[in-house]
Every structure is written in C-alpha cells, then in structure tokens.
Copies of this chain bind each other. A is one copy, B any other.
Amino acid sequence: MAKKMTIVLFSGELDRALAAFNVATTAASMGMEVTIFFTFWGLNAIRKQTSGRKASGWMRKMFNWMNRGGTRNLPLSKFDMVGVGRSMMKKVMKDSNLPSLEEMMSLAKELGVRFIACTTTIGMMGLGPEDFVSYVDEYAGAATYLGQAQQGVVNLFI
C-alpha cells in the first residue's frame, strides 16, 4: 500500500509554495500518495487572478484587493522589493532549468497529488468555487485534512 503524505500550505509566499510543491512532486514520483490542504494565505496559490471581485461587504472587497490571488502575485518572504526579487528568482530558476511554480503545480496534478481547499477560510473571505483554478479536487475543512493526516507517515505545515 502506498505511503501517505500531507502538506498544509498556510503561507502565501512564492518561496514557501515552491518548497511545498518540490516536496509534493518528489514524494508523488516516489510513489507516495500526497494531499495538499490549502488554507489561509496558501489559498492564493490556487486562486484565479480575477478572484474575489464578487465578495460582499467593503471590508472583504478591500481585503481581496490587497490579498490578490494567482501564482503570479505571490511575493517572496524575503527581498521581494515590490516584485523585483520575485522576478529575479524566476529568472534565476529558469536559467538553472528548474520548473516554475505553474509547471510544478501541473506536474503535481499529473502525478495525482490531491488538492483540498479550506472551506472555513474561503467562507471568511467571501469567496466561492468560481474563484479557484480547476486543480482543486475537494472543498473541505480541518476534519477532512485530519482524516488524511492520521494516515500520513509524513505531515508538514508550511
């Protein structure tokens, strides 16, 4: 039986998302069953760039305007410098023949990595399934995550 792994992706930074997907795709290619639970800022990695426009209330609208979704909008946790740092990192990754985040996410889906989007955060942000990319397999809460994590031999919070 395949060994299981879970990752909670809580953080909304490019570098942490890259680390999560590097581990996830490597594990999946080694035959492990991998589940990623996207919650809080981590949801930004699977949000459409146009997401959040229909959220009700000015506070949610303002919050979703600041907290833009989409892989292209993820900052670096260090040296982002309003986007200069992340552009440099993408260039350096390309020069080193490393896959981009978008390529790693696509690879993760091909390898059967399961994407769960946290309904509690989604509800709080006033978002809905229409705000997310088609990679999402399931919309669920912490109980579903914990059901998977109880069977995991490796469980990480990133």
Contacts and interface: CB of A to CB of B under 8 A. Distances in A.
A67 B79 contact: yes
Given A3-B150, A63-B88, A156 B41 contact: no
B3 A41 contact: no
A63 to B, nearest CB: 6
A142 B23 contact: yes
Nearest to A10: B19
Interface in A86-134: 88-89, 91-93, 95-96, 98, 120, 123-126
Contact of A98 (B93, B124, B143, B158): B124
Work out how many copies of this chain go into the complex: 3
Contact of A155 (B8, B59, B156): B156
A62 B158 CA distance: 27
Q: Of residues A32, A57, A93, A142, which shows the largest number of chain B Cβ atoms within 10 Å of its Cβ?
A: A142
Contact of A150 (B16, B40, B88, B153): B153
B143 A59 contact: no
Contacts of A77: 41
Contacts of A60: 92
Interface string A55-73: 0010110110011000000
Given A57-B95, A79-B66, A19 B41 contact: no
Given A3-B150, A23-B146, A67-B78, 13 more contacts: A10-B19, A19-B40, A30-B146, A41-B78, A63-B79, A92-B125, A96-B123, A98-B124, A146-B154, A150-B153, A156-B157, A157-B157, A157-B158
